[in-house]
Amino acid sequence: MSSLVQRPRRLRRTEAVRSLVREARLAREDLILPLFACPGEGVRREVSSMPGVFNLSVDEIAREAANAFEAGVPGVILFGLPESKDETATGAYAERGIVQEAIRAVRRAVPDMVVIADTCLCEYTSHGHCGVVRGGEVLNDESLELIARTAVSQAEAGADIVAPSAMMDGQVGAIREALDEADFGNVAIMSYAVKYASAFYGPFREAADSAPAFGDRRAYQMDAANAREAVREAELDVMEGADFLMVKPAGPYLDILRTIRDRFDLPLAAYHVSGEYAMLKAAAQRGWIDEKRAMLETLTGIKRAGADVILTYYAVEAARELARR
Ligand code: PBG
């Protein structure tokens, strides 16, 4: 052998050595499974653009959550498809609303599971926007009260964590104040602090029936080109009382994840969103990629970029795969 002093390949020779020097370790404990609650009983309706993801009635949600917990997934984040929608998103904060019932059902079925509720109005408004609309505009301050009310109703139903995703200015502060006022000082806020206006939410809007009836979300969600603005958004949410920060989507924004990780000490979540999942599924179905490997590589990349928590529709599959190693 020639005298190369540095040979990085020495540490890649066997799986045992590779494992010893592995830097980022994806773990089942990192994963959160998103679930979609719908009315009815015994309902499991597959989302056509998200194979393996279903609209589930409350009884089925409880089963799915128990199943995930058994696979080693510690938490779920719940979304709802209400019976009916209106201008003021009544279904979002109804005491017997669909997500409130789903929270209770998961709590009952799997007491040790972390229950997170997505706190937004878009699934409950007739126009599909994340806030109150007047004159074709999504009004910020008028939306805060309804968002805070939604968070309190989710806390009342038993959520451990509420996760505001509407991108209204001041939403974290409004929620913190309302939760404290209602004696839910122990309910944490996972803020979708850095949420970009993304084409990758497309399949989710089919799953949650939440596509905006007019326009788009670019007047409240962030522009894909902006990185400094992400720091500013995160800073504001820290000041307002966020307990976790989130970056969303994940894969196309790994640089943002790294920046937020380096600048803030709060736990950091990344949302591997519906379109990112759908792309992998579609390529896998055609036999174009090895799905398991592509899935683990994607999630490991998100972890390496700095995420502590990963919200992914692959949570159960990934947990099963990780348990096997
Ligand atoms: C609600 C919300 C959305 C997602 C999470 N919460 C949709 C949106 O902002 O349009 C997207 C999640 C995904 O695509 O998996 N505002």
Ligand 1 centroid to residue 286 C-alpha, Å: 26
Cis check for the bond before 252: say yes or no (omega within 30 of 0): no
Asked if residue 235 lies in contact with residue 193, where contact means CB atoms within 8 angstroms, the answer is no
Asked if residue 318 lies in contact with residue 295, where contact means CB atoms within 8 angstroms, the answer is yes
pLDDT at 262: 98
pLDDT at 325: 83
* 155 Cβ closer than 6 Å to some ligand 1 atom: no
- Whole-number mean pLDDT of the chain? 97
Ligand 1 centroid to residue 308 C-alpha, Å: 20
In the predicted model, is pLDDT for residue 237 greater than 80? yes
Closest CA to 78 of 94, 98, 63, 48: 98
In the predicted model, is pLDDT for residue 89 greater than 90? yes
Architecture of domain 24-323: Alpha-Beta Barrel (3.20)
Residue nearest to atom 5 of ligand 1 (CA): 165
Q: What pLDDT digit, counting tens, does each position of 29-65 carry?
A: 999 999 999 999 999 999 999 999 999 999 999 999 9
**Mean pLDDT value of segment 157-161:** 98
pLDDT at 160: 98
Q: What pLDDT digit, counting tens, does each position of 95-135 carry?
A: 999 999 999 999 999 999 999 999 999 999 999 999 999 99
Q: Is 292 a catalytic residue?
A: no
Count other Cβ atoms within 10 Å, centred on residue 284: 16
Q: What pLDDT digit, counting tens, does each position of 189-225 carry?
A: 999 999 999 999 999 999 999 999 999 999 999 999 9
Q: pLDDT tier at 167 (50, 70, 90 boundaries)?
A: very high
Domain ranges for the chain, please list them.
Answer: 24-323
For 104, the enclosing helix (H) or strand (E) is helix 98-109
Q: pLDDT tier at 1 (50, 70, 90 boundaries)?
A: confident
pLDDT at 275: 98
In the predicted model, is pLDDT for residue 2 greater than 90? no
| Inter-CA distances, 173 with 35, 196, 245, Å | 26, 20, 14
Asked if residue 23 lies in contact with residue 302, where contact means CB atoms within 8 angstroms, the answer is no
Which structure tokens are listed for 150? Answer: 């939604």
Residue nearest to atom 6 of ligand 1 (CA): 165
Q: What pLDDT digit, counting tens, does each position of 246-293 carry?
A: 999 999 999 999 999 999 999 999 999 999 999 999 999 999 999 999
Closest CA to 249 of 222, 289, 284, 219: 222
**Mean pLDDT value of segment 236-248:** 98
Q: What pLDDT digit, counting tens, does each position of 13-33 carry?
A: 999 999 999 999 999 999 999
Q: Is 195 a catalytic residue?
A: yes
Q: What pLDDT digit, counting tens, does each position of 131-154 carry?
A: 999 999 999 999 999 999 999 999
For 118, the enclosing helix (H) or strand (E) is strand 114-119
Residue nearest to atom 10 of ligand 1 (CA): 201
